[in-house]
């Protein structure tokens, strides 16, 4: 799998469009002037003049037209003074790992680890990968659908029923997340072997010593070149990409839950979810709650009061 980005003039882009005329596709990504799909490569040209080549022969196809852009030396976000992170971490080939859904009453926890090589960084920038907190769900979905086609990644989902069983047995949410992150990273390392990342960056939800305490007794614990940082989405696009894919999966799960409920389920843990859970109880009975929510949240009792149970 190879991905490349070229910077081309309007005249060159026009020539490329003519060259790939028999492979042109009708559905264009936002901001693009043409898109084509050959048997082994997808080509997308943007108004900015950047042309993305993605797929098995992406690098070879791009070489037909010139030299690919090198990853920018500009940091996605500069590590804070005294940080333990390498100064050039935003330009390294890393596995980024992040999770979504831990603070939502409804819906599962989704954890994703994704491998971004340094040569993929210009592609991700052109696609608009960034801190997902700055984007709406529809934009995240649009970008994530493209990311999953070429980034080596692992997506793990902890559904509500299993979550509640584990929580009732005394397992903390922090331990659940540590287990999922470690497993997802293991999966990606297996996928890219024998290649190894320069680092592994986890969006920090627990201090390093606590994270590894949660993993005690696990058969395979990843420790080599593992780094932790808060706000890691802004430090490396690998974490941002992982977060986007996780959010994409999370939104899809929410859509499925809404279909099963028969009405749109809100995200978060505010008053709106209390009312939604109360409606669910009244419509389908309290026994369905474990399939939809994280029972130990205070929202459960609030919903019961609204439903007068």
Q: Which of 10, 15, 9, 11 is nearest to 36 (CA)?
A: 15
Q: How far apart are CA 110 and CA 62, in angstroms?
A: 35
Q: Enter the tokens of residue 8.
A: 């081309």
287 is in an annotated binding site: no
φ and ψ at residue 98, rounded to 5 degrees: -150, 165
99 is in an annotated binding site: yes
- Please name the helix (run of DSSP H) or strand (run of DSSP E) that holds residue 122, with its range, or none: helix 121-127
Output the CA angle 9-15-19, nearest 5 degrees: 140
- Which residues touch 226 (CB under 8 Å, ≥6 apart)? 185, 199, 200, 202
- Please name the helix (run of DSSP H) or strand (run of DSSP E) that holds residue 95, with its range, or none: strand 94-100
Q: How far apart are CA 182 and CA 111, in angstroms?
A: 10
190 is in an annotated binding site: no
Q: Enter the tokens of residue 254.
A: 């929410």
Question: CB–CB of 115/109 below 8 Å?
Answer: no
Q: Which residues pair with 5 in a beta bridge?
A: 52
Residue ranges of the annotated binding site for a divalent metal cation are 98-99, 203
Residue ranges of the annotated binding site are 98-99, 203
């Amino acid at each position: 799998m190879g991905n490349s980005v070229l910077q081309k003039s309007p005249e060159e882009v026009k020539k490329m469009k003519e060259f790939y005329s028999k492979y042109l596709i009708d559905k264009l990504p936002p901001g693009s002037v043409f898109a084509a799909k050959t048997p082994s490569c997808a080509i997308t040209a943007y108004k900015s003049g950047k042309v993305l080549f993605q797929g098995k022969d992406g690098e070879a196809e791009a070489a037909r037209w010139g030299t690919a852009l090198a990853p920018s030396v500009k940091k996605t976000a500069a590590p804070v003074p005294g940080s333990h992170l390498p100064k050039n971490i935003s330009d390294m080939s890393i596995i980024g790992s992040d999770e979504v859904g831990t603070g939502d009453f409804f819906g599962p926890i989704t954890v994703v680890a994704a491998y971004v090589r340094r040569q993929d960084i210009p592609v991700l920038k052109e696609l608009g990968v960034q801190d997902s907190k700055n984007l709406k769900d529809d934009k995240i979905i649009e970008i994530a659908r493209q990311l999953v086609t070429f980034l080596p990644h692992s997506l793990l989902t902890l559904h509500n029923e299993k979550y509640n069983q584990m929580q009732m047995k005394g397992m903390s949410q922090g331990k659940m997340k540590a287990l999922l992150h470690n497993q997802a990273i293991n999966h990606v390392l297996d996928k890219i072997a024998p290649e190894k990342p320069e680092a592994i960056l986890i969006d920090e939800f627990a201090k390093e010593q606590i994270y590894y305490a949660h993993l005690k007794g696990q058969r395979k614990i990843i420790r080599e070149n593992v780094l932790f940082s808060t706000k890691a989405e802004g430090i490396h696009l690998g974490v941002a990409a992982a977060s986007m894919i996780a959010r994409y999966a999370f939104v899809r799960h929410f859509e499925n839950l809404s279909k099963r409920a028969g009405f749109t389920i809100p995200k978060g843990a505010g008053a709106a979810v209390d009312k939604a859970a109360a409606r669910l109880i009244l419509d389908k009975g309290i026994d369905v709650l474990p399939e939809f929510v994280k029972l130990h949240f205070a929202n459960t009792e609030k919903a019961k009061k609204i439903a007068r149970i």
